[in-house]
């Protein structure tokens, strides 16, 4: 079934098809449309969801934690400072092994105050124990949200899932996408039947107790092992989703990487711009390629190393500043992943698009031009630069 929807509409429609038990709702730009659309579904009786409006994003995640701990299936949506206000509770949800599903519509994190897209909000929560999946476009936003629950709720994982898309670029732009039938979605998602929950009188338990030193580390190791197990589960769910949709997903997408000598690694909607640049360069005989990271947590380190092992020079593009003085978070992960390769490509980091700063096909071509120079000369120059800001210096 084809339909013209914004990314926010597509995610809200996926939520409607899933028909969750509880939605903890507090609006924030640019994710506001999601609870607004869903509120309409609830008011019209199109879902059986308990739609709980609260006083802050901290409270909306608290509602989700309480509901999931009681044995219900809970969802929410947020952006930017809303995600930051949830920060404490993101860790609580993950450590309590509560598979909440959150739509994160990426927006620059204050300050200065900015409402446009970069990845500083979700990257700030990258080590909270949540699985993170990123969409390039509206179709992927819809598909990722549907896949999130079968990933997070499986016994070997039991972790919350953050389904991310770029604010305004993806959330508000309208595209033609293919929707699944509601019955197909509900069969794919299945019923949520947790083994343990607060309302199960046969097996009383506490959720979120004080964890003293002899136990805390063991629980964190279990959480870490669950994140490792999530990688295989993500691929299992993707394979099952392909059977009902015809659309294939993995941990990342390789675009024209079969013989690529120069490559870019990035996340999100910029992949569309970068693909256009790759195609243009290919027409001129440049062996350019692209790896679009879909799953950032768990990070596909071994798989990414294999994908980049035959390249000569790689630019990792971060739409978030890590303030490490050594580059952004995607660069740090990618550089670490390549460390054990016997022959590594030259690697540089380009931080770009902060606060919604535009990036054009010509900008991506400049990155590839620099990679070509590096591959020829072996001189990388500065490993970590910012692209697109006003400067007297050449930034790429």
pLDDT digits 0-9 by tens, 132-161: 999 999 999 999 999 999 999 999 999 999
Please write the tens of the pLDDT for every residue from 274-306: 999 999 999 999 999 999 999 999 999 999 999
What's residue 153's pLDDT? Answer: 98
Residue 183 main-chain phi, psi, to 5 deg: -65, -35
What's residue 391's pLDDT? Answer: 84
Q: At what angle do helices 33-43 and 7-18 cross, to 10 degrees?
A: 40
CA–CA distance, 360 with 347 (Å, rounded to integer)? 22
Whether pLDDT at 165 is above 90? yes
Whether pLDDT at 395 is above 80? no
What's residue 206's pLDDT? Answer: 87
What is the mean pLDDT of the segment spanning 307-333?
97
Whether pLDDT at 392 is above 80? no
Place of tokens 């896949």: 147
What's residue 326's pLDDT? Answer: 96
Please write the tens of the pLDDT for every residue from 300-311: 999 999 999 999
CATH architecture of 252-387: 3-Layer(aba) Sandwich (3.40)
State percent of the chain over pLDDT 90. Answer: 95
Q: Where in the chain is the domain with CATH 3.40.50.920?
A: 252-387
Whether pLDDT at 1 is above 90? no
What is the mean pLDDT of the segment spanning 325-351?
97
Whether pLDDT at 394 is above 80? no
User: Cβ distance 13 to 42 under 8 Å?
Assistant: no
User: Cβ distance 248 to 238 under 8 Å?
Assistant: yes
Confidence of residue 209 (pLDDT cuts 50, 70, 90): confident
What is the mean pLDDT of the segment spanning 99-118?
97
What is the mean pLDDT of the segment spanning 153-179?
98
What's residue 75's pLDDT? Answer: 98
Confidence of residue 203 (pLDDT cuts 50, 70, 90): confident
What is the mean pLDDT of the segment spanning 53-67?
98
Mean pLDDT of the chain: 97
CA–CA distance, 374 with 381 (Å, rounded to integer)? 8
Confidence of residue 108 (pLDDT cuts 50, 70, 90): very high
Q: Mean pLDDT lowest for which of 190-204, 238-252, 321-335, 354-368?
A: 190-204
DSSP strand pairing (174-178 vs 2-6): antiparallel
Confidence of residue 393 (pLDDT cuts 50, 70, 90): confident
Question: Given CA atoms 149, 234, 294, 246 in this order, what sign does their dihedral have?
Answer: negative
What's residue 371's pLDDT? Answer: 98
State percent of the chain over pLDDT 70. Answer: 100
Please write the tens of the pLDDT for every residue from 11-32: 999 999 999 999 999 999 999 9
What b-and-e string marks burial along 206-223, b requiring 16 or more CB atoms within 10 Å of the CB?
ebeeeeeeeeeeeeeeeb
CA–CA distance, 19 with 359 (Å, rounded to integer)? 38
Residues near 385 by Cβ (< 8 Å), separated by ≥ 6? 348, 349, 350, 351, 395, 396
Looking at domain 2-245, what is its CATH homologous superfamily? Thiamin diphosphate (ThDP)-binding fold, Pyr/PP domains (3.40.50.970)
Whether pLDDT at 343 is above 80? yes
What is the mean pLDDT of the segment spanning 204-211?
88
What is the mean pLDDT of the segment spanning 380-395?
89
CA–CA distance, 311 with 25 (Å, rounded to integer)? 45
Confidence of residue 39 (pLDDT cuts 50, 70, 90): very high
pTM of the model: 0.97
Whether pLDDT at 170 is above 80? yes
Instruction: Tell me the three-class secondary structure of the chain, residue by residue.
Output: CEEEEEHHHHHHHHHHHHCCCEEEECCCCCCCHHHHHHHHHHHCCCCCCEEEECCCHHHHHHHHHHHHHCCCCEEEEECHHHHHHCHHHHHHHHHCCCCCEEEEEECCCCCCCCCCCCCHHHHHCCCCCCEEEECCCHHHHHHHHHHHHHHHCCCCCCCCEEEEEECCCCCCCEEEEECCCHHHHHHHHCCCCCCCCCCCCCCCCCCCCCCCHHHHHHHHHHHHHHHHHHHHHHHHHHHHHHHHHCCCCCCEEEECCCCCCEEEEEECCHHHHHHHHHHHHHHCCCCEEEEEECEEECCCHHHHHHHHCCCCEEEEEECCCCCCCCCCHHHHHHHHHHCCCCCCCEEEEEEECHHHCCCCHHHHHHHHHHHHHHHHHCCCCCCEEEECCCCCCCCC
The two tokens of residue 217 are 């580390």
Q: Where in the chain is the domain with CATH 3.40.50.970?
A: 2-245
């Amino acid at each position: 079934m084809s339909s013209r929807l914004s990314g926010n509409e597509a995610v809200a429609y996926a939520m409607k098809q899933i028909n969750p038990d509880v939605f903890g709702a507090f609006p924030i730009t640019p994710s506001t449309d999601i609870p607004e659309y869903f509120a309409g579904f609830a008011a019209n009786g199109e879902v059986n969801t308990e739609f709980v409006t609260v006083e802050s994003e901290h409270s909306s995640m608290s509602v989700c934690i309480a509901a999931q701990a009681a044995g219900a299936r809970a969802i929410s949506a947020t952006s930017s400072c809303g995600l930051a206000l949830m920060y404490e509770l993101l860790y609580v949800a993950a450590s309590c092994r509560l598979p909440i599903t959150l739509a994160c519509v990426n927006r620059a994190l204050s300050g200065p105050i900015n409402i446009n897209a970069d990845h500083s909000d979700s990257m700030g929560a990258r080590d909270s124990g949540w699985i993170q999946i990123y969409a390039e476009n509206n179709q992927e936003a819809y598909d990722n949200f549907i896949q999130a629950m079968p990933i997070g709720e499986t016994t070997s994982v039991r972790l919350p899932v953050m389904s991310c898309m770029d604010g305004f670029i993806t959330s508000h732009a309208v595209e033609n996408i293919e929707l699944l039938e509601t019955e197909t979605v509900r069969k794919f998602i299945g019923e949520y039947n947790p083994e343990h929950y607060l309302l199960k009188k046969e097996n009383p338990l506490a959720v979120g107790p004080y964890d003293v030193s002899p136990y805390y580390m063991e629980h964190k190791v279990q959480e870490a092992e669950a994140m490792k197990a999530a990688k295989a589960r993500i691929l299992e769910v993707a394979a099952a989703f392909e059977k009902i949709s015809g659309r294939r997903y993995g941990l990342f997408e390789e675009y024209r990487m079969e013989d690529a000598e120069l490559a870019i690694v990035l996340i999100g909607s910029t992949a569309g711009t970068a693909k256009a640049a790759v195609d243009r360069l290919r027409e001129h005989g440049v062996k350019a390629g692209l790896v679009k990271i879909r799953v950032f947590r768990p990070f596909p380190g071994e798989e990414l190393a294999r994908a980049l092992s035959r390249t000569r020079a790689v630019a990792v593009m971060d739409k978030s500043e890590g303030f490490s003085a050594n580059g952004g978070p995607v660069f740090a992960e990618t550089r670490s992943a390549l460390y054990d390769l016997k022959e590594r490509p030259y690697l540089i980091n380009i931080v770009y698009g902060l606060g919604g700063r535009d990036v054009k096909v010509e900008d991506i071509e400049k990155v590839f031009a620099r990679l070509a120079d590096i591959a020829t000369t072996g001189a990388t120059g500065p490993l970590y630069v910012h692209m697109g800001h006003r400067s007297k210096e050449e930034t790429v």
